[in-house]
């Protein structure tokens, strides 16, 4: 996992709850990580690796871009 990146918008929790009230534990088991990893990602404390992001998207039946996007106006990393 990588440290928090404020340029990334994280929609994991919203999609997890839209997916039939899937628990953090059930999602963690489905993608092969601990529940605490899911908690940390949902809280924005860490960004997942590319592989984990792909597994999360697959488990939830959505595209990676539905879970994680660059914040508008910050694609270049500036903080205007």
* CB of 47 closer than 8 Å to CB of 68: yes
Model pTM score: 0.82
The pLDDT, as a whole number, for residue 73 is 62
Cβ–Cβ < 8 Å for 57, 66: yes
Q: What is the pLDDT of residues 37-69, one digit of tens each?
A: 999 999 999 999 999 999 999 999 999 999 999
CATH says 2-65 is which class? mainly alpha
Q: Distance between CA atoms of 15 and 62, rounded to whole angstroms?
A: 8
What mean pLDDT do residues 7-21 have?
91
Q: Using alpha carbons only, how large is the chain's radius of gyration in Å?
A: 12
């Amino acid at each position: 996992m990588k440290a928090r990146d404020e340029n990334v918008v994280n929609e994991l929790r919203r999609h997890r709850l839209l997916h039939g009230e899937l628990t953090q534990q059930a999602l963690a088991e489905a993608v092969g990580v601990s529940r605490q990893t899911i908690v940390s990602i949902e809280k924005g404390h860490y960004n997942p690796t590319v592989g984990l992001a792909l597994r999360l998207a697959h488990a939830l039946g959505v595209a990676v871009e539905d879970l994680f996007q660059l914040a508008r106006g910050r694609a270049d990393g500036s903080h205007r």
